[in-house]
Amino acid sequence: MKMKIIMLGAPGAGKGTQAIMIAEKYGIPHVSTGDIFRANIKNNTPLGQEAKTYMDKGMLVPDELTVKILLDRVAKDDCKNGYVLDGFPRTIVQADVLKDALSKLGDRIDHAINVDVPDENIIKRMGGRRACLKCGATYHIEHVPPKKEGICDNCGEALVLRDDDKPETVQKRLSVYHEQTQPLIDYYGKEGILKNVDGTQDMNRVFEDICGILG
Ligand code: AP5
Ligand code: MG
């Protein structure tokens, strides 16, 4: 099935967790700008070095840089039949660029799924998160533990606590989210493609709700 999906939601709402499940079920790539930046930081590329200065402060990477990376990624062959975008767009500028790029191809986003979780729940989740910087898998020490402690189930890489998951940085990311990204909920509401799901439920229930939307 051909579909282009955007995941919206606060940091820690479960965008990545759900996007990976969507990608697998519908056979489309999971495209996460955060994962792309983290892979570049891990490999110490110039892009990674620049992105890190913003990410560690909980700030957004500048639109210019982010947009270029995203448009290059979705132009790849594996994105022909659609994709699930996780963490992009995050500003109105990014949303407009994506919309224009797609409309030039006579195309558009099909669904914008907002994973709704209040700030109080988010703070609790982040400290327990563990991430695989190699394949992008995400775990939680209580809710979603890996089979073997500290090791990624998929690729065997050691799991880490992300540098931006310190409590002070999480607070900053939440305020950046409310200022710069939350307006996209209205934006896609006006486009008529916004779907809300209750992200405080168990992750499998959240996924059932999403599958109900996507069909
Ligand atoms: P990014 O990597 O996108 O981070 P984020 O938006 O802050 O979101 P997270 O990855 O923290 O959370 P998530 O919603 O994916 O939740 P997850 O599934 O992990 O971006 C990082 C940084 O990169 C940004 O701050 C910015 O600097 C930069 N950046 C990236 N994209 C950019 C862009 N477009 N423009 C500019 N800058 C950009 O789940 C969270 C935890 O909860 C996990 O431990 C998980 O196991 C657990 N969990 C998930 N679902 C549930 C559930 N239902 N119940 C209980 N626990 C759950
Ligand atoms: Mg994520």
Instruction: List, in sequence order, every residue forming a beta bridge with 112; answer none if it has no partner.
Output: 6, 194
Given this model, what pLDDT does residue 105 score? 92
- Cα separation of 143 and 102, whole Å? 37
Q: Is residue 22 lining ligand 1, measured as CB closer than 6 Å?
A: no
What is the per-residue pLDDT for 1? 62
* Residue bearing the CA closest to ligand 1, atom 56: 143
Q: Which ligand is nearest to the Cα of residue 60, counting in written order?
A: 1
> Which mean pLDDT values do the consecutive 10-residue runs of the chain (215 residues) have?
91 96 97 96 96 97 97 96 97 98 96 96 90 92 95 96 90 97 98 98 97 95
Catalytic residue among 73, 90, 125, 130: 90
From 20, 61, 116, give the residue whose CB has the most ligand 1 atoms within 8 Å, as the site to mutate.
61
**What is the DSSP secondary structure assignment for residue 202, as one 8-state letter?**
-
Are 157 and 132 contacting, i.e. CB atoms less than 8 angstroms apart?
yes
Residue 207 in contact with ligand 1 by CB distance below 6 A: no
Atom of ligand 1 nearest to the CA of 70: 34
Mutate to test the pocket of ligand 1, among 114, 138, 152 (most ligand atoms within 8 A of CB): 138
Choice from 37, 41, 124 to test ligand 1 binding pocket (greatest atom count within 8 A of CB): 37
DSSP-assigned beta bridge partners for residue 111: 5
Is 130 considered catalytic here?
Answer: no
- Asked if 108 is an active-site residue, the reply is no
Torsion of CA 117, 81, 107, 31, to 10 degrees: 40
* C-beta 11 within 6 A of ligand 1: yes
Measure the CA–CA gap between 111 and 194, rounded to whole angstroms.
6
- The pLDDT, as a whole number, for residue 167 is 87
pLDDT at residue 124 in the model? 85
* Residue 52 Cβ < 6 Å to ligand 1: no
Element (H, E) at 194: strand 194-198
Catalytic (active site) residue 173: yes
15 lines ligand 1 (CB under 6 A): yes
CATH class of 3-118+171-214: alpha beta
User: Catalytic: 162?
Assistant: yes
The domain segmentation of the chain, as residue ranges, is 3-118+171-214
